[in-house]
């Protein structure tokens, strides 16, 4: 009965700490549902916050803060106390300029397990999204700055081994697994198109979703629209055979069926 309904969640037990959610994940553990958020707050206040989901209430449990959380944009959770955090860039302006001059990025990936923090990847060029494979064996990272997706095999603890790098027709936004064999990625239109649409909603921006084969690295178009249905699709979520697309600037979600 809740299909495609929109619910407003209320906080329980959370203080007045700045809250600017950028990336989020939901994980089940011990029969409970947990909501974990990359809180892109003001400089030096970035944090990861953990909530327990109780119907339409988010009960605050804890807040992680660490120097490694420099510019968090996404999160992938293994459990309520174990997760990966993706930084789009370094907190150091000097480092950003230096890496850019070398045609590299200053983004990074951080692994958290309880009170242990590890920086496991660096020099990522404008990473935009992070996803765990359905069996949690691999990490998929979308890189807007190099129009590609990187795949890593998870080891024990923080260890990661590179598996593949897939070049995409356009810069990738968010991603989601349709199933174990298909990974969906939104394609970001040009910054010029997005800027025009942001300033004037009648200036439509195209939307596209790519389907990546997890076993052979194949790439195909899963969805494409010139902006009439959705302009500048960026966010994506999957539930069963339904895909939910969120535009960059408009306040609605487009639900699509996918075979």
Query: Same domain for 41 and 146?
Result: yes
Q: 106 and 2: one domain?
A: yes
- 115 and 159 in a single domain? The answer is yes
- pLDDT attached to residue 1: 43
Pick out the chain residues at pLDDT < 70: 1-4, 90-105
Residues 161 and 177 in one domain: no
Residue 201 has what pLDDT?
Answer: 82
Closest by alpha carbon to 231, among 184, 257, 194?
194
Please identify, among 134, 167, 200, the residue that sits at the C-terminal boundary of a domain: 167
DSSP string, 112-146: EETTEEEEEEEEESSEEEEEE-TTS-EEEEEEGGG
Domain count, the chain: 2
- The answer to whether residues 69 and 149 belong to one domain is yes
Are 6 and 43 contained in the same domain?
yes
Structure confidence by residue, pLDDT tens digits, 138-152:
999 999 999 999 999
CA atoms within a 13 Å half-sphere pointing along the CA-CB vector of 151: 17
Residues 94 and 119 in one domain: yes
All residues at 6 or more sequence positions from 214 whose CB lies less than 8 Å from its CB, including other chains: 133, 180, 181, 182, 183
Are 33 and 124 in the same domain? yes
Give the separation between CA 47 and CA 66, rounded to whole angstroms: 7
Which three-class secondary structure state does DSSP give residue 241? coil
Burial profile 248-258: b = 16 or more Cβ within 10 angstroms, e = fewer: beeeeebeeee
In terms of domains, do 25 and 151 share one?
yes
In this structure, the answer to whether residues 66 and 180 fall within a common structural domain is no
DSSP string covering 150-173, please?
Answer: EEEEE-STT-EEEEEEEE-SS-EE
What predicted TM-score, i.e. pTM, was given to this entire model?
A: 0.91
Given 148, 167, 186, which residue is the final one in a domain? 167
The DSSP H or E segment spanning 223 is: strand 219-225
Q: Are residues 22 and 111 in the same domain?
A: yes
Range of the domain at 161: 1-167
Q: Which helix (H) or strand (E) holds 94?
A: helix 93-101
Structure tokens, 255: 């639900």
How far is Cα 180 from Cα 70, in angstroms, rounded to an integer? Answer: 31
What pLDDT was estimated at residue 258? Answer: 82
Same domain? For 103 and 81 the reply is yes
Instruction: Specify the residue for token string 């990847």.
Output: 121
């Amino acid at each position: 009965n809740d299909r495609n309904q929109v619910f407003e969640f209320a906080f329980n037990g959370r203080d007045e700490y700045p809250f600017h959610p950028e990336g989020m994940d939901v994980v089940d553990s011990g029969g409970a549902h947990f909501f974990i958020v990359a809180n892109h707050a003001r400089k030096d206040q970035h944090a990861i916050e953990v909530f327990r989901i109780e119907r339409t209430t988010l009960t605050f449990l804890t807040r992680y803060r660490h120097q490694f959380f420099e510019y968090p944009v996404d999160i992938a959770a293994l459990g309520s106390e174990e997760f990966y955090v993706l930084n789009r860039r370094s907190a150091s302006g000097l480092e950003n300029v230096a890496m850019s001059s070398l045609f590299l990025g200053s983004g990074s990936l951080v692994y958290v397990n309880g009170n242990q923090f590890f920086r496991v990847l660096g020099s990522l060029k404008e990473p935009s999204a992070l996803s765990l494979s359905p069996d949690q064996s691999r990490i998929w990272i979308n890189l807007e700055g190099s129009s590609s997706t990187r795949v890593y095999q998870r080891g024990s603890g923080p260890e990661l081994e590179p598996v593949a790098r897939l070049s995409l027709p356009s810069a990738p936004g968010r991603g989601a697994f349709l199933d174990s064999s298909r990974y969906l990625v939104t394609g970001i239109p040009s910054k010029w198109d997005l800027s025009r649409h942001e300033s004037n909603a009648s200036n439509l921006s195209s939307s596209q979703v790519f389907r990546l084969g997890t076993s052979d690295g194949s790439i195909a178009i899963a969805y494409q629209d010139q902006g009439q249905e959705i302009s500048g699709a960026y966010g994506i979520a999957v539930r069963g055979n339904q895909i939910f697309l969120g535009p960059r600037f408009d306040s609605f979600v487009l639900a699509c069926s996918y075979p």
